[in-house]
Structure 1
């Protein structure tokens, strides 16, 4: 996968684009393509960065407003390059008149082709910079072994809490609860990959099921989804405290 090109609100992306376009403009200023090498250096180093920056703004606007409809990044690149070309041509005509004076012999079909080629190159470089591999997602926490102990009704339900009752465990879910035969310590081992807290010697609670914590006179209560309430012992309160619950 590749990251999508950030929108206008991304300040880092805007700064990166501005630096990229300025660098390309300075490169063209030094190279002096399409006969501009005959112009004074100062003119070239004003003309080319200005044209590339201005054209880049047009291209980025086209890309953000219209290119996003294309899931294929290469179709998006081609669309943006084609659609931006007429607007950039107008910019180039006025910038060229300012920098080099009127040119009655200018062939506009050649200008369109030149602008299109540069647009393809600039937008391509911009897209290639954005084609960095996305960070590899961490494996999702797994409680598959524990869930296999549950009935079919509760196996796919949202896990809320596990409560020890003598030699059994009561597993609380959003579809109700059921008793299973398993030691509490073994259940904690099977739930080690799930984000949750042991809050009492006989209770474990899923982190995403916690709705609130009340602590009073050395004792605590955990309010869980579905109206369930679990005790919080002083011994096991540290994990909740570290997570910012109180």
Structure 2
């Protein structure tokens, strides 16, 4: 029971640390934007004394941003679509942020606080809050994670490659087969000891290697399964890195084979 309590305590401490870190980064982003607004001095705030101008924008941006962060965190549990949520949050946060801005104007600028001022200010606050939340969202946005898995391949049986290996020179016959690459009626055979060019049609080579552990990954490429180091897929095409550093193309036609093997 005590072990469970210790685990719960560690999980709670880790969660608190993550939350504190996120808030620290959010506040740093808001402070940076507040300083930028103070430097630019939009909406005639450049006429204010420097200290008052920076203080005004720090109150508006940091205070308003905190309201937006709280709203976004609460809404994220119900609305997963990021950009739609940003639009909704920017609208929801505008009324309370406008009250904050109005209060800052009354405190620092001695302006009259009334209903017409509030309504007129709404249309000045929202165009600032929307890009503010967009910047925060972009800062936290992560690219989609690409997970590479590696399938453990058993070593091929000696007879599986025996017929094909007899076509190689004596120097390379015992080397480790990595891939074969078609060049018309010739094949470039990639081994861990180097490459060799032989006369053989690609289709015949595939027949001779039918029992070997490997895949056809392109119209002109076959690779040995135990030679694969990593596979990447981007913009409708893939590439495969072999242990020797050789790069082999992966076409869309043969991608399902690698997906089934666990590489995608």
User: Could you state the TM-score of these two structures normalised by the residue count of structure 2?
Assistant: 0.49
Match of residue 49 from structure 2 = 40
Match of residue 172 from structure 1 = none
Match of residue 244 from structure 1 = none
Instruction: Provide closer, same or farther for how the CA distance between residues 35 and 111 of structure 1 changes in structure 2, counting only shifts above 3 A.
Output: same
**Partners in 2 of 1:10 and 1:40 — Cα distance?**
36
1:85–1:119 CA contact under 8 A, matched in 2:
yes
Of the candidates 128, 140, 143, which is equivalent to residue 130 of structure 1? 140
Cα deviation for residue 128 of structure 1 reads 1.0
2:67–2:97 CA contact under 8 A, matched in 1:
yes
Q: 2:46 aligned with 1:28, yes or no?
A: no
Root-mean-square deviation (CA, aligned residues, Å) is: 3.3
Cα deviation for residue 20 of structure 1 reads 0.7
Q: 2:129 aligned with 1:109, yes or no?
A: no
2:99–2:118 CA contact under 8 A, matched in 1:
no
> What's the CA shift string for 1:173-228, capped at 9, x where partnerless?
xxxxxxxxxxxxxxxxx99xxxxxxxxxxxxxxxxxxxxxxxxxxxxxxxxxxxxx
> What's the CA shift string for 1:131-166, capped at 9, x where partnerless?
231442121645799xxxxxxxxxxxxxxxxxxxxx
Match of residue 11 from structure 1 = 20
Match of residue 50 from structure 1 = 59
Cα deviation for residue 35 of structure 1 reads 1.6
After superposing the two structures, state which structure 1 stretch, 47-56 or 11-20, moved more: 11-20
Unaligned runs of 5+ in 1: 1-5, 146-189, 192-246
Unaligned runs of 5+ in 2: 1-14, 156-224, 227-264
1:85–1:115 CA contact under 8 A, matched in 2:
yes
> What's the CA shift string for 1:53-90, capped at 9, x where partnerless?
11111000000012332121111101111111111011
**Partners in 1 of 2:16 and 2:77 — Cα distance?**
10
Of the candidates 79, 86, 91, which is equivalent to residue 88 of structure 2? 79
User: Could you state the TM-score of these two structures normalised by the residue count of structure 1?
Assistant: 0.52
Instruction: Provide closer, same or farther for how the CA distance between residues 76 and 104 of structure 1 changes in structure 2, counting only shifts above 3 A.
Output: closer
Between the two proteins, the alignment pairs up a number of residues equal to 147
**Partners in 2 of 1:94 and 1:144 — Cα distance?**
72
Instruction: Provide closer, same or farther for how the CA distance between residues 7 and 126 of structure 1 changes in structure 2, counting only shifts above 3 A.
Output: farther
Q: 2:131 aligned with 1:121, yes or no?
A: yes
Cα deviation for residue 108 of structure 1 reads 2.7
> What's the CA shift string for 1:2-55, capped at 9, x where partnerless?
xxxx99952322121111100110111111111211110000111101211111
Instruction: Provide closer, same or farther for how the CA distance between residues 134 and 107 of structure 1 changes in structure 2, counting only shifts above 3 A.
Output: same
1:67–1:76 CA contact under 8 A, matched in 2:
yes
Instruction: Provide closer, same or farther for how the CA distance between residues 143 and 39 of structure 1 changes in structure 2, counting only shifts above 3 A.
Output: same
Match of residue 103 from structure 2 = 94
**Partners in 1 of 2:85 and 2:70 — Cα distance?**
13
Match of residue 254 from structure 2 = none
